[in-house]
Copies of this chain bind each other. A is one copy, B any other.
Amino acid sequence: MSTLDVTAIKADFPILSTTVRGGHRLVYLDSGATSQKPTVVLDAERNYYEQHNAAVHRGAHALAELATEDFEAARVTIAGFVGARAKDLVFTKNATESLNLVSYAFSNATALNNRGAGLIDPRFVLNPGDSIVITEMEHHANLIPWQEVCRKTGATLRWIPLTDEGRLDLTHLEDLIDHTTKVVSVVHQSNILGTINPVKMLMDRAHAVGAIGIIDGCQSVPHMPVDVHHLGADLVAWSGHKMLGPTGIGCLWGTEEILEAMPPFITGGSMIQMVEMEKSTFAPPPQKFEAGTPVVAQAVALAAGARYLEKIGMSAVADHEFELAEYTVDALNALVGVRIIGPANAHERGSAVSFVVDGLHPHDVGQVLDSRGVAVRVGHHCAWPTCRRFAVPSTTRISPYIYNDTSDIDEAIDGIVAAQEFFGVK
């Protein structure tokens, strides 16, 4: 039995009491893509603009002080949410930028090194023969940046393959992550398969060969208790909009040592120490990585979201999601002509569940669900190679969150059956 009072939680999200498609109650099961926002988050953002808005870290006037305080207090809250210190948390615009910030540390360091431009940390310099290891279940955000780094440096991209049930196939791990490996970057919880990966072990393996270990926490930080220090990674990236926060904010946590060592990514104002026309020096992290006017209102709002989640308790959230995962998996398993893509049980998996329906294209399944007010995602979920691995062009995905209960899953299941009937495949 879930310990979450889902009815009370739902009431905190104005959009969940709207109707869609001619009067249908909105059943929002697309939180893997983006979560909805509770009133406290919207209020926090608005209050910031109505009371404290000013340029941060720059002005000496009253508003500038208040805005700076708000922004840095938000950093403390959001860092605390993952057990980190504020000074080790960098704000970006989304997880994609966070991961690019990291990948560009490698291509920038390599370019600077090749031109002999200053003292470059050799851990970030890539040469042909070096390897970067990811998995076959990465979101494009943790795949394409590394493809690009490889194109620019001559390094080789490797990936850990998947088993038929959607888990990492670790058989040849020691060969995949070897002495040539300089980066190991893996998703904590797959957004398409739902699989939770043994990241600690992978990070340990990365460190054993001297590689830098990175975790894409987009689907874990919002859904389970995460303490960055327990993950064993050097860097962890995630997004605000999937954890009740606004669009336009992402996070990157790193160890102090790694953030110090990494060259900057986006450069400009507020990330400098000293500027002359000829050359500049840079501020210490996190400022070094936050050029330009930062995402101030977004940070303030995301902090309100983090506090909302903390009040519920992330263990309670994880328990709730486990129950929903179990319920969803069981219900889908019970349907004739429906196949789960990813672990078909609730063990070490999140509540996002992908599936295909025999004889039906996911777009058509999604359309029928939508006509009943049920919002799910169809497509390759920005994990196209994972779809290829399972020989499907795309999937339909149910991804619930704290404001969903089993009645919402029931609506989705009913919709799938209705789709089968409508298209006559049952």
Contacts and interface: CB of A to CB of B under 8 A. Distances in A.
Interface in A130-166: 136, 139-145, 147-148, 151-154, 157, 159
B50 A14 contact: yes
Interface stretch (A81-89, A201-209, A349-357, A382-390): A382-390
Interface string A18-46: 10110000101010011011000010011
Contacts of A294: 247
A30 B151 contact: no
Interface string A295-312: 111100000000000000
A317 interface: no
Nearest to A144: B267
A336 interface: no
B269 A140 contact: yes
Interface stretch (A61-69, A180-188, A251-259, A338-346): A61-69
17 contacts: A14-B50, A33-B58, A36-B49, A37-B53, A54-B375, A58-B377, A58-B382, A61-B377, A100-B267, A112-B151, A115-B151, A115-B153, A117-B151, A118-B151, A145-B267, A147-B267, A248-B298
Interface of A: 14-15, 18, 20-21, 26, 28, 30, 33-34, 36-37, 42, 45-46, 49-55, 58-64, 92-97, 99-100, 107-108, 111-112, 115, 117-118, 136, 139-145, 147-148, 151-154, 157, 159, 239, 241, 246-250, 264, 266-272, 274-280, 291-298, 363, 366-367, 369-370, 373-379, 382, 384-385, 388
